[in-house]
Amino acid sequence: MGSTDHGDALQVLQRVFGYPEFRGDQAAIVEHVIAGGDALVLMPTGGGKSLCYQVPALVRPGTGVVISPLIALMQDQVDALRALGVRAGFLNSSLSWDERREVEAQFVDGKLDLLYLAPERLTSEATLRLLDQGEIALFAIDEAHCVSQWGHDFRPDYLSLTHLHERWPKVPRIALTATATEATRKEILTRLELSDGRQFVSSFDRPNIQYRIVAKKEPKKQLLDLLRGEHPGDAGIVYCLSRASVEKTAEFLVANGIEALPYHAGLDSSVRQRNQARFLREDGLVMVATIAFGMGIDKPDVRFVAHLDLPKSVEGYYQETGRAGRDGLPSTAWLAYGLSDVVQQRKMIESSEGDLAFRRRSQAHLDAMLALCETITCRRTMLLDYFSQTGVPCGNCDTCLIPPESWDGTVAAQKVLSTVWRLRNERGQKFGAGQIIDILLGRKTAKVIQFDHDRLSTFGVGEDLNESEWRGVVRQLLAQGFLAVEGEYSTLVLTPTSSEVLSRKREVKMRKDPTPTRSATRVAAA
C-alpha cells in the first residue's frame, strides 16, 4: 500500500501545493501517517511541518483535525489553504454562532479537508460529540511541546488531548514541535500515549544563523550599530520584554532613520494586524515586539533577530531566533545580556505566583539560558547539546570567532560574597548590586556614607577591576548560583553554595567579556 500512497502524496504536493518534491523527512512522515501510523515530528522552524499533516489529510478519507494554540493565525492559515483550493475551516472563540454552525455542518457532511481547532474546544463534550458525527482522517497536534509540564510553554488545555486516543483509537495522530528537549520529548510521548508511534527527529542545526551574545552596555545604541553596520535595509525582529520597552525602542529606531513598527498585546488588534501585515508584505521593516509576535509567522527573509532582554529559556531563545533566515541565507541572532537581566529574571521567578514546582522549573530553564550566555565554548554546539544533538564547533558564532578568555575569579567572587555577607540584615536594610560595587570600588557615595559602609573591611578592596568588570563578576555569580536575589529591592543574598567559595573549597571560573571588533564578526557574516 505504501508506494501507491506515496504516489498519491507526491501528486497532492505537486498539484495542490505546487512544490516539485518533499523536503528532508517529509516524504517518510507523510507515508507513515497515510498508512495510519502515529508519529512525533521534531523539525526546526521553517522545516516544513505543516505539509506533514496537510498532505496526509488530503490523501486519507475524511477531515484532518488540527489542534493548534495559534488562534490568531487560524484565519490566515485557512485563507491560505482555501486559496490553494483546499476545503478548510476552523473553530475557535472568535466565530459567531452562525459561523460556527456552518463549519460544523460542513464537517459532518464531509465537506472539509482540514479543520483547525483551538485546544480548549476538546475539553467540551459538545465538540467531542461533533467529531463523532464526521469522519476523521487524522489528528495533528501542533506545538506539541505545550502538553509538557516540564516544557517552557505548558498549556493545561493540551492535557485533554490525552483522550483523543481513547475515544478514536484507529485515527492516526501526528504531534509536531520545533522545540523539545529530551525530557519534553519523553513527556509528549507519555502524555499523548504516542510511545508506539514513530519519531522523526530532524537536525536542529540552523547553519546559516550566526549566534552572538554580547555584554549589554547601552543596548539601544548597540542595536543601532548592529542594524546600521551589518543589516542596513534588512528585515528583522527585535524582541523586548515589556510593552513599554517595545514602544521606546521602536520610537528610538524611527528617530534614527530606521523603519520600525511596534507589536505587543497592549496595542489595538487592528494596529497589531496592520503592523504584522506590513512586516510580511513590505521589504526591510524592523518589527519591535514582545514574544507575543512571531509564532507561525512565515517570512523567509528575516535577516536578523535581536534580543534586548534575556529570554526565559533556551527553548524560547531557539524558537525566537529560529525566525531568522528561513530562506537559508546568512542571518544574525544577536542578544544583549547583562547583570540587570539576571537580577530581573531571578526576581520575577522568586516573586511569581506559581507553586514551588513551577518556580523550580522556571529556575532550571533560566539556568540553562544563563549557561548559554556565559559559555566560553561554541554556542551552536551548546544549543544542539541542549536538544540532545551533537555538533562540532561551528566557526561561525561569536565564541568560535573570538574565543573569550576565562579567568580564575575566585578571589573576586570572595570579595563580592564577603561584602554581601557583611551587609546581611544590617539594620533591616537591603542592598543591591550597585551598593556592593560602590563599596568594592571604595566610592564614598551618599548611601555609602549614610550606612558607614566605608568602614567595612571590604571597602575599596576591589580597585583592581573597573565597574563594568565588577558587574560582570556579580552577573556571573548570579548566573552560576553563588548569589541570589530576594524581595522587592532585588537584594543580593548568599546561597547554600556561597560558603564553598568563601571557604576556598571551590574555584570560580569566569568569562572575560570580549569586546568584539566589528570586522571580526563581519568575516563570517559576509
Residues that bind ligand ADP (CB under 6 A): 19, 22-23, 26, 43, 45-51, 298
Q: Min. distance of Cβ 79 from ligand ADP in angstroms?
A: 15
Of 26 and 418, which has the nearer Cβ to ligand ADP?
26
Residue 320: count other Cβ atoms within 10 Å of its Cβ.
23
Largest pairwise CA distance in the chain: 85
397 binds, among ligand ADP, Zn ion, none (CB under 5 to 8 A by kind): Zn ion
Residue 212: count other Cβ atoms within 10 Å of its Cβ.
24
Of 140 and 400, which has the nearer Cβ to Zn ion?
400
For 264-326, the DSSP string reads -TTS-HHHHHHHHHHHHHSSS-EEEE-TTS-TT---TT--EEEESS--SSHHHHHHHHTTS-T
Of 74 and 349, which has the nearer Cβ to ligand ADP?
74
Q: Min. distance of Cβ 384 from ligand ADP in angstroms?
A: 18
Amino acid symbol at 62: G
Cα Rg, the chain, nearest whole Å: 26
What x-and-dash track marks residues 349-378 binding Zn ion by CB under 5 A?
A: -----------------------------x
Q: Min. distance of Cβ 143 from ligand ADP in angstroms?
A: 10
Q: Min. distance of Cβ 61 from ligand ADP in angstroms?
A: 23
Rounded Cα distance between 414 and 500, Å, is 10
Q: What are phi and psi of 136, to 5 degrees?
A: -105, 125
Contact 81, 115 (CB under 8 A): no
Residue 395: count other Cβ atoms within 10 Å of its Cβ.
10
Contact positions with Zn ion (CB under 5 A) in 374-393: 378, 380
Instruction: State the number of binding residues for Zn ion (CB under 5 A).
Output: 5
Q: Min. distance of Cβ 389 from Zn ion in angstroms?
A: 14
Of 48 and 434, which has the nearer Cβ to ligand ADP?
48
Of 46 and 56, which has the nearer Cβ to ligand ADP?
46
Of 57 and 349, which has the nearer Cβ to ligand ADP?
57
112 binds, among ligand ADP, Zn ion, none (CB under 5 to 8 A by kind): none
489 binds, among Zn ion, ligand ADP, none (CB under 5 to 8 A by kind): none
19 binds, among Zn ion, ligand ADP, none (CB under 5 to 8 A by kind): ligand ADP
User: Which residues, including other chains, have CB under 8 Å from residue 339's CB and lie 6 or more apart?
Assistant: 433, 471, 472, 474, 475, 478
Of 19 and 489, which has the nearer Cβ to ligand ADP?
19
26 binds, among Zn ion, ligand ADP, none (CB under 5 to 8 A by kind): ligand ADP
Of 47 and 134, which has the nearer Cβ to ligand ADP?
47
Does residue 213 bind Zn ion (CB under 5 A)? no
Q: Min. distance of Cβ 310 from Zn ion in angstroms?
A: 20
Find cell 571604595 and name the residue. 442
Does residue 397 bind Zn ion (CB under 5 A)? yes
Find cell 575599596 and name the residue. 460
Contact 383, 322 (CB under 8 A): no
Q: Grid coordinates in use for 403?
A: 574565543
Q: Grid coordinates in use for 478?
A: 548570579
- The upper half-sphere exposure of residue 350, i.e. CA atoms within 13 Å in the direction of its Cβ, equals 16
Does residue 394 bind Zn ion (CB under 5 A)? yes
CA geometry: angle 186, 378, 200, nearest 5 deg: 30
Contact 34, 11 (CB under 8 A): no
Does residue 400 bind Zn ion (CB under 5 A)? yes
Rounded Cα distance between 357 and 150, Å, is 10
253 binds, among Zn ion, ligand ADP, none (CB under 5 to 8 A by kind): none
Residue 224: count other Cβ atoms within 10 Å of its Cβ.
17
Q: Among residues 88, 70, 277, which one has the least CA distance to residue 177?
A: 70
46 binds, among Zn ion, ligand ADP, none (CB under 5 to 8 A by kind): ligand ADP
43 binds, among ligand ADP, Zn ion, none (CB under 5 to 8 A by kind): ligand ADP
Of 14-22, 103-111, 260-268, 397-405, the segment contacting Zn ion by CB under 5 A is 397-405
Of 85-93, 326-334, 394-402, 418-426, the segment contacting Zn ion by CB under 5 A is 394-402
Q: Which position's Cβ is nearest ligand ADP? A: 48
- Helix 410-423 and helix 467-479, axial crossing angle in degrees, nearest 10: 80
Contact 362, 355 (CB under 8 A): no
Of 49 and 264, which has the nearer Cβ to ligand ADP?
49
23 binds, among Zn ion, ligand ADP, none (CB under 5 to 8 A by kind): ligand ADP
Residues lying near Zn ion in the complex (CB under 5 A)? 378, 380, 394, 397, 400
